[in-house]
Chain A
Amino acid sequence: MRKGQGNVIIATIFAALFLAFVLPLATHLYTSYTANIKTPYSQALADVVIQVAQRASEQVLAIYNESNTVLYILNYRGKPLDIERLIVTVSCIEGVRVASLKPQEVSIPSGQQKVLNLSQAVALVLQGCTKPNTTAFYIVTQQGTVIPAEVISLRIVQELQTEAGTGFLTRVGGGEKIVTALPIPIKSADQLWNISLLQAKGFTIATLDSMTSPAILTPDSTLVSSSGMRSAGFSWRLVRVTSGSITVNIGTVYNLWFGYDPRNTSKYNIMFTTTGYSPCSSTTLSKVKIYGFRSSLTQGVLQISNKWVKEPSQDVANYTFKNTNLYLTGTADRIEIYCRDGSGEVSYNPYTMLMNTVRSEGFAGLLFTTIDRSYRASLSSVPDGDTSRLDYSSKPFALVYNYSISSKQYTAVAIAVNYRFHDAEGLDADGVKSDLPIMLVGLAYRDGNVFRVYSYRSFTFRELTRYEDTYPPTAQAQSAVVFIPLPQGVDREFHVFIAFQDPYNYVQSGSYYYDCVDFTLYVENLSILPFR
């Protein structure tokens, strides 16, 4: 081998080693570097940020009261809540406004609550806004979180407003309206003493063909003039109507019902029963109805059992079965004296009174009572002491409210009724052989001259007597909501009705008497909630 050949071999080995090790190394470097570049791009991170922001809104309780423009915030998210601004959406007749408010206090530590009064800031936003309605409220934090606040409004419980043109009382709330049939709106010139007044307040006075299985409501105005109520013996006879000064000072008053005069709540409506009230004869059961009474004494309205009564009780049975002395003196707009010496059928007028047990001027509830004298505690006696004083209905008294609910426009109706009931049957449900309806609430539609009952809910004696105590007298406040879906595909105008009656005269079985219930029913409220 020559000397130069060895060098060439060395050079070849060197080149081979270089190609075998260095080049792959460099290539590996390149691929591994570029592979490392492919770090997962974290799209999910943004989602996490937003999720955290959204979770924050669940840990903050915010309520905005539209009525007094106060924002309540309770922060319990474990870190301070730094408010940057408040975003309010207000809907006006002129259009929608989206406003940005800067509150004074901006940081609320965790576990604390703040009340922010925004009256000044909101007043600026509401300038030139007709019928403002806050539709949405948001808190924007410095971290970019958007926290919705619950908006509450007192519109629902605000004053009743008359629907334009119709005269019906409606309230707009929760997207739907509430139509109030009872209490009825009363003006100062209204003649409360005749329940025919109800006809001028949007009601049709009618009677039902049957209270146990009602089908037809027939308008019947004689219920307020001459018919509807009977008694086993004598009937009520109106003997005197006066006005002006009155003084009652009697040793025994049996029952007394009393409320505010809806025309003027500084006056009172009073009804009481006694014996021998002039001009009734000395042994004749008497009933006195006093409208618009104003006491001339400052101690109270009237004195019963030598104790002054300053205001009516919401429990209408509070002054029932008293058998004690009564004293009152003052002036009255109208005094009616009834003697129990008439005969034949009479109207519902002697049994009813429009009054109010709460001081809300301009609104009246309806009181109906057949209690005259006393309750009974055993089957061998009768309430009111004598079968001749037991009253009962010959025709149910029904009120059909003229407000019509179209099945085209609405899918269902909820009828809410608030009432009080008190009876003179000390044995309650055990004193009756048959359970009969006292009150009905339902829907009817017009068919020619009559109304046909579409659906109803009955309130029978056994149900009503469960929630009262005959003695000591207690008429519990009771209420019910009757939900009636409307027929679809039929174009019909429905009307809400309420009907009541005293179905019980008496049944004698040996020395025992059954079905001789007399009672008091006071309907405070009848509201209609149509659903779209």
Chain B
Amino acid sequence: MKKAQSELLATVALIGLALVMGVAIISLVGSTIASYRDQVLLMNTLNTEVSNTFVNLITYDNTSNRLWLLLKRLDGSRIDFFIAVAVDSQYIPCSNVRYYNPVKDTDSIMCNEAEDCPAAQQFKLASPGSLYVPYEGSIVSFADFVRARNYGLSTTSSIPICIVKNVCNLVSIPGLCANNTIFVVSIPSGARVVRIFTFTLFNNNLYLVNVYEVRLS
């Protein structure tokens, strides 16, 4: 081999190496930033949801074992609410959750007519492993969260996720919506603790945003 040939080969090899490494680094940094952006977006969404959505207790009717609560979105958006309700150690089905529709109420008495309180629809029966919770700085599964909080709930049985329709979607009010969504939960008698879990949907995954606890005894 001539001397000039070997120099050319070495140069080509070096340029090739530099190109390969450059491309590899660019794609590594690029994918890192993309995944970072995703996570930032998720965190931002969760933080917004946490400060935007809240549950508040109205009253507990102990004669008919009904718990009256309200759901509120502070941002005025019309997004429906995803909730799960646990009474003591059991999740209750969505048929036990009904939301108040003021449009269909003719006598001011809530939930005594056929249509003024439709039952919440079941969004899905989720396994505790498929729900996520931002917890102590990272994202953990709902099963781990329940265990960490010592709620006494099953970590294997499915959780009925119910859709409570935002009252703003029942009434045609233009613009931002400021109304409270009132819902009622029928609970078994003798219940001690009722927990309302609110979720938000992000990339087709459900993330817990809030737990509202009502102690009845």
Task: Write the residues of chain A forming the contact surface with B, with a CB cutoff of 8 angstroms.
Answer: 2-4, 7-8, 11, 14-15, 18, 22-23, 26, 29-30, 33-34, 36-43, 45-46, 49-50, 53, 84-85, 87, 89, 91, 95-101, 121, 124-125, 127, 136, 138, 140, 142-146
Contacts and interface: CB of A to CB of B under 8 A. Distances in A.
Contacts of A40: 137
Given A3-B3, A30-B32, A100-B105, A37 B39 contact: yes
Contact of B70 (A23, A91, A144): A144
B10 A144 contact: no
Interface of B: 3, 6-7, 10-11, 13-14, 17-18, 21, 25, 28-29, 32-33, 36, 39-40, 43, 46-47, 50-51, 53-54, 56-59, 61, 63-64, 66, 68, 70, 72, 74, 100, 102, 105, 107-112, 134-135, 137-138, 178-180, 182, 184, 209-210, 212
Contacts of B109: 97-99, 125
Given A37-B40, A96-B64, A124-B108, 8 more contacts: A11-B17, A33-B36, A98-B109, A100-B105, A127-B107, A144-B72, A144-B180, A146-B70
Contacts of B212: 50
Contact of A98 (B39, B111, B180): B111
Contact of A50 (B54, B135, B182): B54
Given A46-B54, A98-B109, A41 B43 contact: yes
Nearest to B102: A100
| Most-contacted residue by chain A among B40, B54, B179 (CB, 10 A) | B54
Nearest to B24: A26
10 contacts: A7-B7, A11-B10, A11-B17, A14-B14, A42-B51, A53-B54, A98-B61, A99-B109, A127-B107, A144-B180
B59 A26 contact: no
Q: Which of B43, B72, B111 has the most CB of A within 10 A?
A: B72
Contacts of B11: 7
B61 A96 contact: yes
A39 B58 contact: no
A146 B56 contact: yes
Contacts of B54: 46, 49-50, 53, 144
A22 B25 contact: yes
A89 B61 contact: yes
Chain B: interface secondary structure?
Answer: mixed
B112 A97 contact: yes
Contacts of B108: 99-101, 121, 124-125
B10 A8 contact: yes
Contacts of A30: 28-29, 32
A36 B33 CA distance: 12
Contact of A144 (B14, B56, B61): B56
B107 A11 contact: no
Given A33-B32, A37-B40, A18 B58 contact: no
Nearest to A91: B63
A95 B66 CA distance: 13
B18 to A, nearest CB: 8
A197 to B, nearest CB: 45
A26 B53 CA distance: 39
Contacts of B74: 49, 143-144
Nearest to B43: A39
Given A34-B36, A87-B68, A26 B56 contact: no
Give the interface centre of A8, A46, A95, A124 by most chain B CB atoms within 10 Å: A46
A26 B25 contact: yes
A91 B109 CA distance: 12
A99 to B, nearest CB: 5
A138 B29 contact: no
B33 A33 contact: yes
A96 B109 CA distance: 10
Contacts of B13: 11
Contacts of A22: 25
Contact of B51 (A45, A53, A136, A143): A45
A145 B74 CA distance: 12
Contacts of A41: 43, 46-47, 50, 134-135, 137
Contacts of A2: 3
Contacts of B58: 87, 138, 140, 146
Nearest to B33: A33
Nearest to A4: B6
Contact of A29 (B32, B53, B59): B32
Nearest to A22: B25
A49 B3 CA distance: 78
A98 B66 contact: yes
Nearest to B31: A30
A146 B58 CA distance: 6
Nearest to A97: B109
A100 B33 contact: no
Contact of A125 (B63, B107, B210): B107
B10 A4 contact: yes
Contacts of A45: 47, 50-51
Closest 3 pairs (CB-CB, A-B): A144-B72, A41-B134, A37-B39
B102 A7 contact: no
Contacts of B36: 33-34, 36-37
A87 B137 CA distance: 40
Contacts of B53: 46
A40 to B, nearest CB: 6
Contacts of B178: 142
A37 B63 CA distance: 49
B107 A124 contact: yes
Given A30-B32, A50-B54, A42 B61 contact: no
